[in-house]
Structures are given as structure tokens and as C-alpha cells.
Structure 1
Amino acid sequence: MSIDEPMATAADEPHPEIAGLVEMMGATPVPELSSLSPEGARQFSKEMFPEADEPEPVGDVMELSISDEGIPVRVYVPESDGPYPTLVYYHGGGWVIGDLDSHDETCRVLASEADCMVVSVDYRLSPEHEFPIPLEDCYTALEWVFENAESMQVDTDKVLVGGDSAGGNLAAAVALFARDNGGPEIARQVLVYPVTDHSFDTPSYEENGDGGLLSRDDMEWFWDQYLRDEVDGKNPYASPLKAQSLEGLPPATVVTCGLDPLRDEGAAYARRLEEAGVPVTHHNYEDCIHGIAQFLADPMDLSRSRELLADVTADIRSTAE
């Protein structure tokens, strides 16, 4: 799908909170991720996002290992009684960085505010494990949730998949794979500023490719780590926007940010879902940059981030009712 015109609106300036954050970060030299090794990028990311001093309370947290590959998952149980609506969550980080800890507070807020169980998946990272291995791990986690529904108190009529950035890409791909292979029935896909296309020619890349927390160079580097070759980039399980048909997919929540290089491909995916008859709720935060779903701990605890998650949790609650 060629995107020649902006698919979602963008503010002239970022939200004042975000502008202050960007200014604060700009005061310290920040290396381009593409200049680092994968391990160096992971270490830099850990230092960039502090842990919350007082994490969002939930009913319980369980650390488990699933499948023959020993995929770690962290399960956040709400304070209510089961069986639980359950969100299988895939963290962002360009398939290269991020882990259970980087998205701990995000998952806690989702579990608490949406009153659902969240299963956060520590899928294997690239380039050590290239496409399709991270996707296979994510799909394995979805199957595990259904296979262990009784012991985990999962309401199998209300299982959602979701993620941010590369995690949104993986959630969309899991939904496609489940549809194509007669897999588990997913109640909703929650795609927060998702990567949907191995392409860099959108207006939002032109407008936002040099600033914020994500640049065009970063995304090109991430894709290079994830894919085995250019042919993989044409595979709809890597680039969901390239899927021939989106009919029959679960209802979707799609979040985009106006000042994000990924804005237009996320909005284009929302539009294609709608055209395929899939119910879609598209939230566009025109004054926000990429990555704000993680800005939940001082000194980066932003009200705009919590507003975004409030909209997402409202959609999850509507699915769970």
C-alpha cells in the first residue's frame, strides 16, 4: 500500500510535557542506536527508562517459563476474582531491545486499570534470533494461555493480544497467523504505534525521521537486525500492511502519535482494517512522540502517557464486558 499523503494529523509542536522531556534529553549527548552493538543498545535502553519507585499495585505477579524453549513470561493478576479477561502483551524495542522489566510499569497499569490479567512475553530478540523466531515465541505464548486457561483462570472468550511498536507489529502478526492457521480466537488486537511495513517512504518518516525517540536510521537498523533478508520484509507476518486481505481479523485498537515516524503506517493499517470490515478504534495523539506508553516513572511520568493508556484500557474493558 503506497502512502503518499499523511494518514493522521500532527500538531505543529509537541505537548508541553513532551517538549520539556525532549529538551531535557537533548541536554545530554545521546548515541544513535545504529552506532551501537545490539548489546550496547540494550544497556543504553535500560539506563534510559528508570524503574518506578512505587510500582502500580496489582493483585499478584508471577514469573513463569513456558514451552520447550523456556520463554519467560510475567503474569500480572488483577485484584478482582477470575476467570480473567487476559491480554497477551509483547513489548516494544525494535525486536532488539526491551524485556519484561522495561515494560513492567506499562503492564501493571494495563492490568490495574483494565481489570484484566496481563501475560507479558519475553520473546527471543534479534539479531541472535531473526524473523520468524520472535513471532513464533509470541504465538507460542498465545497458545499457552489457551492451553492453560483452567489453571490460570483465563476467560477464553476474552483473550486479547497487544503490544507497542515492534510489539504492536508482533501482535498484528500473531492475529494474522491465528486467522490463517485456524488458531485461537482472539477477542481484540491492541496495537500501540505499531510497525506495520518494511518501508520508509511515508510522509511521517519525512516529517519525523530525524527527531524524537525514534529516527529513520534507528528503524532501518532495527529492521536489519530482525530480517534475514529483504525478501522477509515482503512477508505479511513481518509487514502486516502487505497482507493481501485483512478480512476476518479481530476487532482492533490502533494508537498512533502525530510526531512519530510510524504514524502513517499505523493509521494506514487502521484504515485497511476498517475497509476489510473489521471494527476499529483509532486513537491519534497528534502532539505526542513515539514511545510515550513507557513514560510512567519519574522524572518521565507524563500525564499524556497516562491519558493514552486510559483510552487503551477503556477499549480493553469494553471487550471484556
Structure 2
Amino acid sequence: MPLDPGAQRVLDLIREVGRPPLHTLSPVEARAASAASRKVLQPDPQEVAEVADLTCPGPAGPIPLRRYRGLGAPSGAPLPCLLFLHGGGWVINDLDSHDQLCRALANYTQAMVIAVDYRLAPEAIFPAAVDDAAAALRFVVAEAASLGIDPARIAVGGDSAGGNLAAVLALMGRDGTLPAPGFQLLLYPATDMAGNTPSYQRFLEGYPLTTATMRWFIDHYIPDHAQRIDWRASPLRAASLAGTPPAFVMTCGHDPLVDEGIAYARRLDQEGVSVTHLHVADQMHAYLTMGRFIPASDLTLRQAAAALRVHWGIG
């Protein structure tokens, strides 16, 4: 299917300004380039009822978190909570890169979102991001009362690399090594570090995420090739997905990760997990953080929030 006109405008703009592909930059330069693009691509952040920065204990020191309470969410009762892991190939992005997205999800769910600023590669390679994400989930469950969270209604979610981490947390919860989340929200997730699906051969240049860029991310995150088949890196390679929580999986058509995302949704379904799979055929990877040009990003966030609201029983 042809690319959405708004997404095409983003690609045209990238060419016009001459932004180099991320995989031609150092990680530090890539982080700066990504940060510089936010004000151009993202809509103005929504007001929320409450936002606060905090930390939780982590394996390498305190992990920064950001807590959002959505507009319309009651202030006197424990709220459902989405623990959100940001995308960025485990190499770039942070709490600020996904602040606009998390604010929208908090408002659209009328609940709470807690974003996690996990350690990035190559300074902290696999499994550092997994360990930090796991520590954040343990903290949210243990401190649910003080955080104003309903411990029976905690979901994990994220986009791209964050979707990968959320899927891993769901598997760890199923296996009993973590408190089990009740839902998994996976937005164009990375699920297999092998990078050998047909879609890896279709998106070779011109997109924010190309095959070369994805392989650059993986090389920084998991330099040891033998570790890439570990299910904590490649959840699609887990022996079984049965028993993981209900899921919302979003994939998009113009994305090197589309085949592995579809495969993950299918496996969830085949192995008895309740799953809603939304495929946005005319969109490209990372469009959820390009809402100034791509109105469909807001629609998708509202659909994801609706799935959470239904699961949580929010009318």
C-alpha cells in the first residue's frame, strides 16, 4: 500500500534538510539528531492532571522514572497503570523523547503512565535494558499503594525497542521471575534480533528506520551474536508464549520490523493468548512520534488506549 501522505512529507523533509541516516553517526551524534527532530515532528504536549519525576532502585543505580496522571483520572482512588518503555533501538531516546506520547496515553486512558529511562547501549549492553525494565516493574508493584496504583491493573507497554522490552517483561511475569503484568501493549515491536525476515529486504533506504539502521542498533545493543537468540533479546524465539497476558499488537506496513511483529501477534493467538492485532498498512516505523505531520499517530494512540480501557474496565 502507498505511504500515508503525512508520512511521505516527513520523508521529504528529512531529505530537504539533509539529515544523515542514524547508522552513519556515532551513538552520541544519533541521540542529538533525534532530540533535535522532536520539536519539528511532534505536536505540542498535552496538559495532564499531574506529572512528576521520580526514581526507583536499579542494578546499576537509581533509574529515572516519570509518572503521569491523565486528565479525568480520579485523584483519590488507586489507578490502573501502564509501565511504558520508550523506543529508540536501545541506543537513543529518553523520557523527553516520549513525553508527548505518554501524556496522550495518560489522558486517553484516564489512568496513570509511568515511563522508564532505562540504560542505553553501547554504554550498557544487553541485558542492561531488560534488567532496568524489570527493576522498574518490581518497584511499581511493590510501591503501588504509595504511587496511587491499583496493583491488579498494571500493564507493560512500549514502542519498537520498548515493545521488545515489554514483551520480555510479560514473559518473565509468566515464568514467575517478575510480578505478572495484566496486559501487554506492543507498538511496532522488535521481536527477533536475527533480522532475516523478508521485510528486512524491503526497506533499505529513505526511511527513518532502515535495515542498516536496525542492524546498527542491534550491533550496539547485543554485540555478542550468540546472545541474540536469547528470548530476553528475541521474545519471538521463546519456546512458548502461552500464559502471557492479553495483548494489543500494532504493526505498520513500511517497516523492517513488520514481519516479526505480525509473527508475534500470530503466535500469541495460536498459543491461546487473547490478542488484538492492529495493522496500519500505510504507515512507517516511528510514526507515533511524528504527530505534527501524521494525524494517524493520534488515532493509533487512541485505539491503543481504548484497548487498555476495555481491559481495565474503564467506561
- One fold, TM greater than 0.5? yes
Pairing partner for 1:28 from 17, 20, 25: 17
Asked if residue 197 in structure 1 is aligned to residue 165 in structure 2, the reply is no
Structure 1 residues not aligned, in runs of 5+: 1-10
1:304 aligns with 296
Distance in 2 between residues matched to 1:48 and 1:221, nearest whole Å: 20
1:41 aligns with 30
Distance in 2 between residues matched to 1:301 and 1:142, nearest whole Å: 33
- 8 Å Cα contact 2:82-2:155 kept in structure 1: yes
Distance in 1 between residues matched to 2:83 and 2:4, nearest whole Å: 30
Distance in 1 between residues matched to 2:222 and 2:200, nearest whole Å: 20
Pairing partner for 2:203 from 208, 215, 239: 208
TM normalised by structure 1 equals 0.93
Pairing partner for 1:268 from 249, 263, 266: 263
Q: Deviations over 1:22-61 (max 9, x none)?
A: 1122212121222211111111110111186742011100
Pairing partner for 1:63 from 4, 28, 53: 53
Q: What is the SS of the residue equivalent to 2:168?
A: helix
Distance in 2 between residues matched to 1:122 and 1:27, nearest whole Å: 32
Q: Deviations over 1:136-176 (max 9, x none)?
A: 00011011011111111111111000000000001011111
TM normalised by structure 2 equals 0.94
Pairing partner for 1:74 from 45, 66, 69: 66
Alignment of 1:85-104 (within 5 A): 85-104=80-99
Alignment-mate amino acid for residue 55 of structure 1: P
1:258 aligns with 253
1:141 aligns with 136
**% identical equivalent positions:** 42
Alignment of 1:197-236 (within 5 A): 197-236=192-231
Q: What is the SS of the residue equivalent to 2:254?
A: coil
- 8 Å Cα contact 2:118-2:129 kept in structure 1: yes
1:6 aligns with none
1:7 aligns with none
Q: What is the SS of the residue equivalent to 1:49?
A: helix
2:277 aligns with 282
Distance in 2 between residues matched to 1:53 and 1:166, nearest whole Å: 22
The farther-off stretch of 99-108 and 35-44 is 35-44
Asked if residue 15 in structure 1 is aligned to residue 10 in structure 2, the reply is no
Structure 1 pair 100/273, CA: closer, same or farther in 2 (3 Å)? same
Task: Please give the root-mean-square deviation of Cα atoms over the aligned residues, in Å.
Answer: 1.3
Asked if residue 320 in structure 1 is aligned to residue 309 in structure 2, the reply is no
Q: What is the SS of the residue equivalent to 2:284?
A: coil
Q: How many residues align?
A: 307
Distance in 2 between residues matched to 1:130 and 1:319, nearest whole Å: 34
Alignment-mate amino acid for residue 32 of structure 1: P
Distance in 2 between residues matched to 1:99 and 1:215, nearest whole Å: 21
Alignment-mate amino acid for residue 9 of structure 2: G
Distance in 2 between residues matched to 1:19 and 1:33, nearest whole Å: 19
Structure 2 residues not aligned, in runs of 5+: none
The farther-off stretch of 72-81 and 19-28 is 19-28
- 8 Å Cα contact 2:11-2:206 kept in structure 1: no
Distance in 1 between residues matched to 2:82 and 2:142, nearest whole Å: 15
Pairing partner for 2:241 from 242, 246, 253: 246
Alignment-mate amino acid for residue 176 of structure 1: L
Distance in 2 between residues matched to 1:108 and 1:152, nearest whole Å: 17
Asked if residue 171 in structure 1 is aligned to residue 166 in structure 2, the reply is yes
Structure 1 pair 47/237, CA: closer, same or farther in 2 (3 Å)? same
Alignment-mate amino acid for residue 311 of structure 1: Q
- Residue 181 of structure 1: how far off its partner (Å): 2.9
2:108 aligns with 113
The farther-off stretch of 17-26 and 115-124 is 17-26
